[in-house]
Chains A and B, each alone.
Chain A
Amino acid sequence: MLIDFLQLSLVPMLIAVLASMACALPGNFLVLRQQSLIGDAVSHVVLPGVVGAFVVTGTIATAPMLIGAAVAALFAVGLIEIIRRLGKVEPGAAMGVVFTALFAAGVVWLEQSNSASVHLDVEHVLYGNLESLIWLDAESWASLVNPAALATVPEQLGRLAWVMAVVAIVIWVLWRPLVIGTFDPAFAASAGARPGLTSLALLVVVALSAVAAFEAVGAIIVVAMFICPAAAARLMTNKLHTQVAWSLGFAATAAIGGYTLAAWGPIWLGFENSVSAAGMIATTGGLILLLACCFGPCRRSR
Chain B
Amino acid sequence: MNPLLDALLLRTGYNTTLVTIGAALLGAAAGAIGTFVLLRRRSLASDAAGHAALPGLAAAFILMAMTSGNGRWLPGLMIGAAISAALGLVVVHAITARTRLKEDAAIGVVLSVFFGLGVVLLTVVQALPSGNQAGIASYLLGSAAGMLRSEAELIAIMAALTALSVFILRRPLSMLCFDPDYAAISGVRVRLTDAALSVILLAVVITSLKVVGLVLSVALSIMPAVAARFWTDRVQHMVPVSAALGAAGAYAGAAISSSAPSLPTGAVIVLIMFGMFVVSLLFAPARGVLATAIRHQAFRRRVHRRQGLLALDRQESIHDGMTLRLLRQSGWIRRDGVPTPAGVLAARDAAHDEALWRLHGDRYPGDSAALHYHRIVPIKQVLPADALADLEALLAAQPARKSHATTRLAPAGY
Write the residues of chain A forming the contact surface with B, with a CB cutoff of 8 angstroms.
31, 34-37, 39-40, 83, 86-90, 92-97, 100-101, 103-105, 107-108, 111, 122-123, 126-127, 220-221, 223-224, 226-228, 231, 234-235, 262, 271-276, 278-283, 285-286, 289, 293, 296, 298-301
Contacts and interface: CB of A to CB of B under 8 A. Distances in A.
Contacts of B56: none
A283 B120 contact: yes
A104 B274 contact: yes
Contacts of B270: 100-101, 103-104
B112 A282 contact: yes
Contacts of A223: 108, 111-112, 115
A126 B100 contact: no
Interface of B: 38, 41, 43-44, 47, 95, 98-102, 104-105, 107-109, 111-124, 127, 137, 140-141, 215-216, 218-219, 222-223, 225-226, 229-230, 262-264, 266-268, 270-271, 274, 277, 281, 287, 289
Contact of B109 (A83, A87, A227): A227
Given A101-B277, A223-B111, A231-B105, 6 more contacts: A97-B222, A224-B109, A235-B99, A273-B124, A282-B112, A300-B100
Nearest to B50: A100
B219 to A, nearest CB: 4
Contact of A293 (B95, B219, B264, B289): B95
Contacts of A101: 219, 223, 270-271, 274, 277
A35 B104 contact: yes
A86 B230 CA distance: 11
Contact of B113 (A95, A105, A271, A285): A285
A299 B120 contact: no
Given A226-B108, A275-B123, A283-B117, A103 B215 contact: yes
Contacts of A127: 119
Contact of A283 (B116, B230, B264): B116
Contact of B119 (A95, A126, A234): A126
Nearest to A228: B109
A220 B41 contact: no
A282 B51 CA distance: 13
Contacts of B223: 96-97, 100-101
Listed residue (B116, B118, B218) with the most chain A CB atoms within 10 angstroms of its CB: B116
A111 B3 CA distance: 19
Contact of A92 (B44, B116, B281): B44
Contacts of B124: 273, 275
A115 to B, nearest CB: 10
Contacts of B111: 40, 223
The 10 closest A-B pairs by CB, nearest first: A282-B116, A286-B113, A279-B119, A301-B100, A100-B219, A104-B270, A224-B112, A101-B274, A279-B120, A104-B267
B266 A280 contact: no
22 contacts: A31-B101, A31-B102, A36-B105, A37-B107, A39-B108, A40-B47, A83-B281, A89-B226, A96-B218, A100-B218, A100-B222, A100-B274, A111-B262, A220-B119, A235-B99, A274-B123, A279-B120, A282-B119, A285-B116, A286-B117, A300-B98, A300-B99
